[in-house]
Structure 1
Amino acid sequence: MSANQILVLQSPRLDPTRVTELSILAGAANVPAIHDGVARVSGCNPARREVVLERAAALGVDANFVDPERRFADFGLVVSDMDSTLITIECIDEVADMQGLKPQVAAITERSMRGELDFTQSLRERVALLAGLPEAALAQVYEQRLQLMPGARELLADCREYGVKFMLVSGGFTYFTERLKAELNLDYTAANQLEVVDGKLTGRVLGDIVDGEAKRRLLIAKREELGLRPDQVIAVGDGANDLNMLAEAGVGIAAHAKPVVRAQAAYRLNVCGLDAIRKLFL
């Protein structure tokens, strides 16, 4: 943390008491006012960073240290994971539920997202369990179970307002990313393609798997295509397979993430919606 960074506090429950306690803990000379659920604390002691973040988490406050002059309009690209990041569900778990296999598949998904299993191998194992499922089950999941993460529409509106491109990259499936692209007017998407024969899933994925390294490469390729610097890219994710792209981005945000991701990401959102991303900056 550089000496000139400010502490940005956000929470649906943000109040003067929490802001005062965290400002004092950060060594700030003044306690700022709250505007639109956000308080920006200047003059913080860099040595107090970890104790501030720990106490903020206990108080139910998202705390992040950011450059004071950084504007959201300075960025050119937001790259986001899909499952449990832009949307509230893990699509493969809900599809598996149509086969009566959600507990088994969800357990593998959880271990993979915690970084305990190889992502590519675990995905192939989970997809294999879906063999024979009618393709119509995918539509049922999209129409009946898929919900956007709180703040997602606001974040996308902010991206459009400030001219920031939005790329959805997923270790999930094109069936869902392409429909979200059309519904939400997303700029770019990338995901895995399920093989379907005679209207049924074969239990196989076509082509190379979009894993953590592929997400990183996709981010780099799009960044270079758009002529952006690394510091002009924001990446958002929740699982271990997002760590590479979070590290590659100028701003890597762990959003409602697994502990292994929170521990490594420079920015964290644990209680706020995705609209808090724009509010980190001017």
Structure 2
Amino acid sequence: MAAASQAVLLCLGESDPAPAVERAGAVLAEAGLRLGPPRVVASRRLRVVEHALSGSAPIDCRSATKRLRGLQGEFGVDLAVLPADAARRDKKLLVIDMDSTLVQSEGIDELAKEAGVGEAVAAITRRAMNGELDFVGALRERVGLLRGLPVHALERVAARTVLSPGAEVLIDVLRKGGCAVAVVSGGFDYFTTRLHSRLGLSYSFANRLDVEDGRLTGRLVGEIVDGRRKAALLEEMASKEAVGLDRVLAIGDGANDLPMLERAGLGVAYNAKPKVREAAPVTLSVPDLSAVLFLLGYSESELPE
């Protein structure tokens, strides 16, 4: 994200934003930035306000946002300094993670429950998503524990997989603005294929489980979709769509999502693991994907009830 000539401070949460904004204003003043008057963005389910920012030099939005990171836990809000330009709202490519982001569950953990190894796999997943383990090694280890699981167990998991709140609103609003939608997942294509059809996705990428005689072999087929591959796919899709990276929105929750969050014009860590929240460009800590639209400059009145 390049330095912006115009920017806003956005504060989003479930409580009165005024105390957090006051402290944020003091922190930003140390960097030579001044807050303008508030604009109420939302006031029903969430309390969202934004303030125009002014300074004597172009504003490094990511650096300014990082300055405010410590206030988020203290006040229970999300704070972001965002460019106030056309690209903020006019996103042309959404790249979103699947597990614990677009959907509420972790597919591999649900498969592990079917295989009777739920606790062991869930423990590895938590550490991998927080960046404590190598993603590829942790994925291979977890898939190995699924060896022998009948393929029909995948259908049971798919049947109980639920979209995250606000997912369809986010996708519908962005698509109306001409935005292509892609799921890029470190999970499995058995599930992304079904979401592709259900949601009318433009692209979907994920890992493929190896199957023999109707059972999982405990191996993967083909190139693994890890953090580096996610970032590369984002750039490939942006090129195919002929859009600059400033028009790309990326959303994810795990350490393997950080590379693509960094590449996108706006990268949002959605209810993310602690280390991911600390490192991500922008965070969103409410369980509603439609709140991402406030980061893009939409107002509550523009969203469906």
User: TM-score, structure 2 length as denominator?
Assistant: 0.84
Q: Equivalent residue for 1:261?
A: 276
Deviation at 1:77, TM superposition (A): 0.4
Deviation at 1:160, TM superposition (A): 1.4
Deviation at 1:233, TM superposition (A): 0.8
Map Cα deviations across residues 207-248 of structure 1 (whole Å, 9 max, x no partner). 111111111111111111111111111111111111111111
Which residue of the other structure, out of 224, 247, 266, is the alignment partner of 1:251?
266
**Alpha carbons of 1:92 and 1:263: their partners in 2 closer, same or farther (altered >3 Å)?**
same
**Would you say 1:222 and 2:220 are equivalent positions?**
no
8 Å contact kept, 1:95–1:141: yes
Q: Equivalent residue for 1:117?
A: 133
**Would you say 1:281 and 2:288 are equivalent positions?**
no
Map Cα deviations across residues 134-177 of structure 1 (whole Å, 9 max, x no partner). 11111101102x11111111111112111111110011100000
Q: AA paired with 2:124? A: I
**Alpha carbons of 1:71 and 1:35: their partners in 2 closer, same or farther (altered >3 Å)?**
farther
Map Cα deviations across residues 6-40 of structure 1 (whole Å, 9 max, x no partner). 111223x24xxx22223322333534435354211
Structure 2 distance, partners of 1:109, 1:49, is: 28
8 Å contact kept, 2:65–2:80: no
Q: Equivalent residue for 1:148?
A: 163
The unaligned stretches of length 5 or more in structure 2 are 26-34, 298-305
RMSD of equivalent CA atoms: 2.1
Q: Equivalent residue for 1:184?
A: 199
Which residue of the other structure, out of 83, 86, 99, is the alignment partner of 1:67?
83
The unaligned stretches of length 5 or more in structure 1 are none
**Would you say 1:26 and 2:33 are equivalent positions?**
no
**Alpha carbons of 1:254 and 1:101: their partners in 2 closer, same or farther (altered >3 Å)?**
same
Q: Counterpart of 1:33 in 2: which secondary structure? A: strand
Aligned pairs for 1:120-139 (under 5 A) are 120-139=136-155
Which residue of the other structure, out of 73, 80, 89, is the alignment partner of 2:96?
80
Question: How high is the sequence identity, in percent, across the aligned residues?
Answer: 40
User: TM-score, structure 1 length as denominator?
Assistant: 0.90
Q: Equivalent residue for 1:98?
A: 114
Q: Equivalent residue for 2:29?
A: none
**Alpha carbons of 1:208 and 1:49: their partners in 2 closer, same or farther (altered >3 Å)?**
closer
Deviation at 1:58, TM superposition (A): 2.9
